């Protein structure tokens, strides 16, 4: 099966129904291992047990950017190739990405209070992630505001691509500006600065949350395709002669 | 599990927030799936079928 075959919604539904049970199982297993490792990880010599918040904060923060990146690729699919599943992928990723971004903000805030002495600071990293969260909400509102799905898809695709400018700003904000938020400690030149006792649970949790996103996204795409079938059948029903009388 | 120390409430609240939001996402996806399947079944029961003749709830 080639990628172009998946452009057919019926083939996508068939594939989704086959792989979703495996994805659910893999997500549950990896997250269970990650949670166990997080619970049994040692305390940090400076942060104490609050380092455990890192194991959920960082995967959510990473996914907040990853989901927008996926949506940007889907936006190109909508605008350039008019791929039948591209706007389905984009539309269904937005609420999931908004949830992960919300969790990154909440867990970061709860981590910041004991470590920095404040829940919130208007520094570059925190502010740019808040803007990302607002952009997710704006995109969801746009989908709801435009009745015609194809017009909504194009408008949302343009907004998504414009909003993609924020992703490198978030990523490099800790390098470009003097921020309260700590610098990059995992994906950096010269390797991670984290000790293996923290790095391994963090990476397992990151894989677990990424699997969770893939599972939720494929399930939500399946739902959206069914919703569009409902809409098509409702239009057919409305057009039937016996229903017009 | 190691003791959570003086900031236990921040740690527990963080994990609880993640659990609640993830549970809400899972519930949203599952209830939406059931709702769409029911709507399709109702439409087919009312005699509205796809042009291909295949069942709209057929995912295979």
Q: What is the mean pLDDT of residues B42-60?
A: 74
Confidence of residue A241 (pLDDT cuts 50, 70, 90): low
Q: What is the ipTM of this complex?
A: 0.89
- Say if the Cβ atoms of B11 and A53 lie within 8 Å: yes
- Say if the Cβ atoms of A229 and B56 lie within 8 Å: yes
CB–CB of A205/A55 below 8 Å?
Answer: yes
CA distance A140 to A134: 10
Range scoring the smallest mean pLDDT among A120-124, A183-187, A210-214? A183-187
Of A43, A223, A233, the CB nearest to B56: A233
Range scoring the smallest mean pLDDT among A201-210, B31-40, B44-53? B44-53
Q: Model confidence over A145-194: pLDDT tens digits?
A: 988 888 899 999 999 999 999 999 998 888 888 777 877 777 666 777 77
Contacts of A81 (CB under 8 A, 6+ apart): none
Of B3, B17, B48, the CB nearest to A103: B17
Helix, strand, coil shares of chain B as percentages rounded to 5? 70, 0, 30
**What's the gap in Å between the CA of B56 and the closest CA on chain A?**
7
- State the pLDDT at residue A5: 61
CA distance A65 to A61: 7
Chain A residues in contact with B38 by the CB 8 A cut-off are none
Please give the distance of CA B37 from its chain centroid, rounded to a whole number.
13
The 3-class SS string of chain A reads CCHHHHHCHHHHHHHHHHHHHHHHHHHHHHHHHHHHHHHHCCCECCCEHHHHHHHHHHHHHHHHHHHHHHHHHHHHHHHHHCCCCHHHHHHHHHHHHHHHHHHHHHHHHHHHHHHHCCCCCCCHHHHHHHHHHHHHHHHHHHHHHCCCHHHHHHHHHHHHHHHCCHHHHHHHHHHHCCCCCCCCCCCCCCCCCCCHHHHHHHHHHHHHHHHHHHHHHHHHHHHHHHHHHHHHHHHHHHHCHHHHC
- Say if the Cβ atoms of A229 and B50 lie within 8 Å: yes
DSSP symbol at B3: -
> Of A121, A128, A118, A119, whose CA–CA distance to A61 is shortest?
A128
Chain A residues in contact with B30 by the CB 8 A cut-off are 219
Q: Model confidence over A60-88: pLDDT tens digits?
A: 999 999 999 999 999 999 999 888 789 99
- State the pLDDT at residue A236: 82
- Put simply, the chain B residues between 1 and 60 with a CB less than 8 A from any chain A CB are 1-8, 10-11, 13-15, 17-18, 21-22, 24-26, 28-30, 32-33, 36-37, 39-40, 43-44, 46, 48-50, 56-57, 59-60
- State the pLDDT at residue A245: 42
CA distance B1 to A99: 28
Of A111, A220, A230, the CB nearest to B43: A230
Q: Does A4 touch chain B (CB under 8 A)?
A: no
Q: How many CB pairs under 8 A join A and B?
A: 112
- State the pLDDT at residue A83: 83
The pTM for the full model equals 0.90
Give me A214's structure tokens. 């893939």
Give me A93's structure tokens. 């990723």
Query: Helix B8-45 and helix A86-116: axis angle, to 10°?
Result: 160
> Of A19, A118, A108, A113, whose CA–CA distance to A64 is shortest?
A108
Q: Does A237 touch chain B (CB under 8 A)?
A: yes
Instruction: Write phi, then psi, for A141 (nearest 5 degrees).
Output: -65, -40
Give me B49's structure tokens. 């079928």
């Amino acid at each position: 099966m080639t990628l172009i075959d998946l452009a057919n919604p019926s083939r996508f539904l068939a594939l989704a129904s086959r792989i979703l049970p495996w994805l659910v199982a893999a997500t549950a297993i990896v997250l269970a291992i990650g949670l166990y490792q997080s619970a049994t990880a040692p305390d940090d010599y400076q942060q104490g047990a609050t380092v455990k918040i890192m194991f959920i904060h960082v995967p959510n923060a990473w996914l907040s950017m990853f989901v927008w990146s996926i949506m940007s690729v889907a936006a190109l699919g909508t605008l350039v190739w008019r791929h039948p599943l591209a706007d389905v992928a984009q539309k269904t990723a937005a609420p999931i990405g908004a949830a992960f971004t919300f969790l990154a903000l909440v867990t970061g805030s709860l981590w910041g209070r004991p470590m920095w002495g404040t829940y919130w600071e208007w520094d570059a990293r925190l502010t740019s992630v808040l803007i990302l969260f607002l952009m997710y909400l704006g995109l969801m509102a746009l989908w709801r505001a435009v009745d015609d799905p194809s017009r909504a898809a194009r408008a949302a695709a343009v907004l998504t691509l414009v909003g993609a400018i924020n992703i490198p700003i978030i990523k490099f904000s800790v390098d470009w500006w003097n921020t309260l938020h700590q610098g990059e400690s995992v994906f950096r030149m010269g390797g991670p600065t984290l000790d293996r006792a923290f790095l391994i649970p963090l990476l397992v949790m990151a894989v677990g949350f990424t699997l969770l996103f893939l599972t939720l996204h494929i399930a939500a795409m399946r739902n959206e395709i069914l919703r569009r079938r409902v809409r098509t059948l409702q239009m057919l029903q409305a057009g039937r002669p016996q229903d017009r009388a | 599990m190691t003791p959570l120390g003086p900031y236990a409430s921040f740690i527990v609240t963080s994990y609880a927030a993640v659990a609640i939001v993830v549970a809400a996402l899972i519930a949203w996806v599952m209830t939406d799936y059931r709702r769409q399947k029911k709507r399709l079944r109702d439409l087919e029961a009312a005699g509205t079928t796809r042009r291909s003749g295949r069942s709209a709830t057929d995912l295979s």
